[in-house]
Amino acid sequence: MDFTLNDEQKMIQRTVRDFVKKELMPYEQEVLKNEREGRPGMNAEDIKRIRQKAKDLGFWGINTPEEYGGADLGPVMTALISIELGRTFVPFNFGGSADNILYYCNEDQEQRYLIPVINGERRSCFALSEPSAGSDAGNIKMTAVKKGSEWVLNGEKIFITNGNEADFAMVFAVTDKEKGARGGVTCFLVDRDMGWRSEYIHTMGEWGPASLVFEDVHVPEENILGEIGGGFNLGMQWIGQGRWLIPARAIGASERLLQMGIDHAKTRVTFGKPIADRQAIQWMIADSGVEIEATKWLVMRAAWLQEKGQDNRHAASMAKLYGSNMANRVVDRVLQIHGGMGYTKELPIERWYREMRLWRIFEGTDEIQRFIIARNLIRGNVKVGELLD
């Protein structure tokens, strides 16, 4: 059992880490200032310029097939890259990518949606969640009624990432109530200028999702993504694709925070000694180090299974549950180590504190992950003590 990264993986990991330090971390104070004044952390011009620098290094379309101009590095390398990007809160991702389900576009849809998204000319959002259907995705109420050669959509979507910025949405609606979620839900590609509107939702963190409102929005038949009635499977593929990437990013953020805690503990003196000499502080540091390492191997196993074409859903749920909670414990300890300064806006710890709380909710709550894990074990889908494949 060899856990060693190969030379290419080491080189890419090192390059991304250097890129984050050199190109992204210098923006941190500006991002904090902008966010606290109610503006986006980074402007579009800066993001475009930094993405071009990344593209020049070969970081474009990390998981985009080569036929579309991407690097197609695979899940394991994507996990390593996500860890490195997690070391900063600067809102940046490498360009050249599209939602995995957009690859179900037909030839005409590819030209109108998939390729423009990959090229950065259009922006999409994934619209599944509703006021009464968050983790219970099969309970969506939005309707799509056929009228001639069009479908008329009515309903509301909520907590939609990029919903305020997107110019089209991948919208899931009930097309046949009798068939239930698994056969009666269809995905539509719906341009904003077809008539839907977005409303900003204020949150405790910097994530600003949207509520999308559809009132008699007419969508042509040719804008169905995939097959009529195939929406539920598409939705689950979208959700499952990124579930283990959240704890991957949590690893990078937690490692950065832990180092901040260690550095502060070594310089903060109380009663004549650095607090790093206090056992209470040492245990916080030790527990954080162990939990970060455990998360790392849960994430890497989930990524490895996906890369091998094996079912990684159980592993991804375990990584998501443990990793998102780990990050919340680590940031809480680091804030405690910093005392009053950790609670102020002088340091970015409180910013991470608010952001990390979201990780236990979106892409499937803690409770949903526990439900999935327990169900797999109880039904025998996963055997207790099963040998590794």
Beta bridge pairs of residue 200: 210
Report how far residue 350's alpha carbon sits from residue 327's, in angstroms, rounded to the nearest whole number: 13
8 among known catalytic residues: no
On whether the CB atoms of residues 219 and 209 are closer than 8 A, the answer is: no
SS3 369: helix
Q: Which token pair is 355?
A: 């952001």
On whether the CB atoms of residues 210 and 200 are closer than 8 A, the answer is: yes
Secondary element (H or E) of residue 29: helix 28-36
Catalytic residue (one of 215, 222, 363, 367): 363
Q: Which token pair is 48?
A: 């475009």
Report how far residue 333's alpha carbon sits from residue 291's, in angstroms, rounded to the nearest whole number: 12
Report how far residue 39's alpha carbon sits from residue 115's, in angstroms, rounded to the nearest whole number: 30
Q: Which token pair is 109?
A: 């849809």
Greatest Cα pair distance, the chain, in angstroms, is 81
How far is the CA of 172 from the CAs of 110, 178, 188, 228, 229, in angstroms? Answer: 19, 16, 6, 11, 10
Q: Residue 191 burial by CB count (10 A; 0-12/13-18/19+): exposed, middle or buried?
A: middle
DSSP code of residue 202: -
Report how far residue 99's alpha carbon sits from residue 314's, in angstroms, rounded to the nearest whole number: 22
On whether the CB atoms of residues 335 and 343 are closer than 8 A, the answer is: yes
Q: At which residue do the structure tokens 């414990």 appear?
A: 329
Secondary element (H or E) of residue 341: helix 340-343
Secondary element (H or E) of residue 245: helix 245-267
DSSP code of residue 133: B
Active site residues: 363
